[in-house]
Amino acid sequence: MKLVLLSGGSGKRLWPLSNDARSKQFLKVLESENGELRSMVQRVWSQLGNVGLTDSAVIATSKSQVDMIQSQLGQDVPIIIEPMRRDTFPAIALASVYLYSVEGIRLDEVVAVLPVDPYVEDRFFHRVKDLEETVLASGADLALIGVEPTYPSAKYGYIVPTSTSSESDYLRVSHFTEKPTEEKAAELIEQGALWNCGVFAFKLDYMISLLKEKGLPTQYEELLKQYERLPKISFDYEVVEKTKHIVVLPYEGYWKDLGTWNTLTEEMATEQIGKGIIADSENTHLINELDIPVTVLGVSNAIVAVSPDGILVSDKATSPRIKELVNDFDQRPMYEERRWGWYRVLDYTKFEDGREVLTKRIGVTAGKNLSYQMHRHRSEVWTIIKGEGEFALDGEIHFVKPGDVLEIPVGAKHGIKAITDLEFIEVQTGTQLIEEDIVRIYMTWEEVEQHCLFVSH
């Protein structure tokens, strides 16, 4: 069985820690067994390893999340990159076509799809393994996992089976109900309804046939070119609700969607991350990513989240509304993790004459490097503040250390490699200070060393 993990999200539900580049699954707020902070995606990936599923897993994601995934899970994690965000149906279609035409997976093989961020015990993934046998034994077009509800929640969708008993491990599905009222949810639970946790499986042939019916390409490169033709719609609406023969595997165990501040803080091992003090406050969490202290005094049942992107002070019960409130915020992400390290925007100014100045603090992990690149619309000045490295500029490599100031004119080819953990302040000046103004020449430092001359140490 092949496993497709969907990593998407626009990063608004856990604002200001999440943003367009760092969705909720990448926030390091959960504690691992050894007491280190880790993200939802790191937790799920290690759980897949525990049950022997990582070798058959691939992550489907958008371009903006690739660096973050590689930073947190490693460079060799298999990734299918969507050319643009278009919801879960296009993402699953692209992944299916990749498995079919690139990896050569047989049409009768089973593919399971799940979100990259469920908060569950390891045994949930053993249940995911059972989906393969369920698809084959039932002859169903789709097999889902349904979580046995612990209370009538209005936050989740429900899978309603045709009956609550079966000779086999699975039940036939009658219909779905999306986010009912609590009263209706209680009625559904009486009927044996299960929470829909967004996990399902099918034979690869089912998706490939569906795409052919829709007149869509089943070759990966061709589908990439026509990706914007795919309807911007969820897999649930486009496929699941139109499929007749569906079965569901009940799962009795812990499952939670950590999609809001109130659900996420319930699973955090500590009430405070970062600088600050919480005093005379019950059930209040402080997460502070800035280097200034935050004091919370006499405020109970609250979440206080502070990042370079903004500050949130909210009652936990009303915190799910944050997405609709900040939906219109249109600012660049002020903090990003990359495959080589991280950066934080310190200041951005636009002058009346059209010039822009952007100041960043950039951290490069020891042994990693920024690509050898050039910019057409901006010059840069780098001031090394921590660590040692090798700096390449127009064919020459220099050794750099704290206090060194490096000037990079418009059009100059440049890159840097960290020997030890390296930090520098970057000041960009120009007319278009955007990530797209990067022409990458070499990605690896080996290529840089082959084409540049080492001139000082």
81 contacts 200 by C-beta, under 8 angstroms: no
pLDDT digits (tens, 9 = 90+) for 275-327: 999 999 999 999 999 999 999 999 999 999 999 889 999 999 999 899 889 88
The answer to whether residue 11 scores a pLDDT higher than 70 is no
- Of 424 and 351, more confident: 424
Looking at residue 31, its pLDDT comes to 87
Query: What pTM was estimated for this model as a whole?
Result: 0.84
- Vertex 76, ends 73 and 78: CA angle to 5°? 90
Instruction: Give the tens place of pLDDT for each residue, 182-230.
Output: 899 999 999 899 999 999 999 999 999 999 999 999 999 999 999 988 8
Query: Distance between CA 99 and CA 165 in Å, rounded?
Result: 35
- Residue 16 preceded by cis peptide, ω within 30: yes
The pLDDT score that the predictor gives to residue 435 is 74
Q: How many CB atoms lie within 10 A of CB 51?
A: 15
- Across 176-184, average pLDDT: 89
Compute the distance between CA of residue 297 and CA of residue 242 in angstroms, rounded to an integer: 53
Residue 8's pLDDT is what?
81
**Closest Cα to residue 114, out of 101, 127, 133?**
127
Question: What's the pLDDT tens digit per position in 54-110?
Answer: 999 999 998 888 888 988 998 889 999 998 888 899 999 999 999 999 999 999 999
Mean pLDDT, range 250-268, rounded to an integer = 89
386 pLDDT tier (thresholds 50, 70, 90): very high
pLDDT at 155: 83
Give the Cα separation of 397 and 394 in Å (integer).
9
